Amino acid sequence: MTEYYPFLGAPSTDSASYFQAPGLDVDANVLPGVICHKAAFAHVQFQLAEGQEVLADGGAMIWMDSMIAMDTQVGDCVPACWRKCAGESCCQNKFTGPGMVAFSFKLPGDMVSFSVSKQVGWKCSASSFVCGTANIEVSTVFAGCYACICGGEEAFLTKCKVKDDSSDENGMFYAGGYGAITRHELNEGDTVILSGGCFFACAEDMSFELKMPGGCYTACFGGEGLCVAVDGPGHVFSQNRNPNIWSAILKREGAKQGKGGAAGAGAG
């Protein structure tokens, strides 16, 4: 029996809402989970039945019942090596019920669930995969030269879809973003322009373009620089914080502590 601190309260008992891509008809019971403590420190938890499995990124588990079985696997070598380029773990963990288990994203922010199939997949920001059905294949896709060099995005993005040899046509996965997540519904002819690092997810067949909002002077002196644009039709998800800024802060604070420690050692 899981207990919660009184000042937090018990999470909602409703299953997490999930986004279904056009052309997919996935039962919400494929992998029903509860996303708790949205939108700043979200985590997802599952009540697994006997034999029910969840595949998770390495280090994503935050707690589980003692009855849950955990097995570490690499899977196919090529996808394992490629997903490492997108910041995902080479080794993944499979959790088998019965019992409860919970997973979280590495950075403070929100989580969203996506349905996928063998034909329809999603590409997400690097390191965003948290967990999903056991038939999910996590690999990478190149963001494009302009997007990664000038647009502020990572060179490789995370790509999720159902394995080709899976007996089940459909699957589901949960992804985490830094900050709050916004869904943009684009019609034919619509374009959304994203600041560097704020892309979160879109269908795998949607491509990026580099835009200069406001002209050359604004791009150089307005603080935005070159932005990434995604054209409709389709759905695009954005995160309202850039994970690269968080990484830069950690590196800067680590460098300060390193210098302070060296100075203290020299003084001693």
Contact at 8 Å (CB) between 31 and 133? yes
Of the listed ranges 43-47, 86-90, 99-103, 149-153, the least confidently predicted one is 149-153
**Predicted local confidence at residue 166, as pLDDT:** 87
Q: What is the mean pLDDT of the chain?
A: 76
CATH number of 18-258: 3.60.160.10
Among 24, 53, 217, smallest CA distance to 121 is for 24
Residue 51 DSSP class: T
- Left if phi > 0, otherwise alpha if psi is -120 to 50, otherwise beta: which for 99? left
For residue range 222-239, list pLDDT tens digits in order. 555 677 888 888 889 999
Structure tokens at 115: 């349905």
Residue 169: C-alpha distances to residues 25, 27, 61, 105, 267 (Å): 10, 12, 26, 26, 65
**Predicted local confidence at residue 218, as pLDDT:** 58
Q: At CA 20, angle to CA 176 and CA 115, rounded to 5? A: 60
Q: Where are the domains of the chain?
A: 18-258
**Predicted local confidence at residue 99, as pLDDT:** 94
Distance CA 181, CA 229 (A): 17
Structure tokens at 221: 């002196």
User: Which range, 104-113, 141-150, 252-261, is most confident?
Assistant: 104-113
Contact at 8 Å (CB) between 184 and 149? no
For residue range 131-189, list pLDDT tens digits in order. 999 998 888 776 655 555 554 556 678 888 898 888 888 888 999 999 889 899 889 98
Asked if pLDDT for residue 12 goes beyond 70, the answer is no
Asked if pLDDT for residue 208 goes beyond 50, the answer is yes
55, with CB counted inside 10 A (0-12, 13-18, 19+), is buried
pTM: 0.77
Within 10 A of 109 (CB to CB), how many other CB atoms are there? 25
For residue range 68-86, list pLDDT tens digits in order. 999 998 766 666 665 655 5
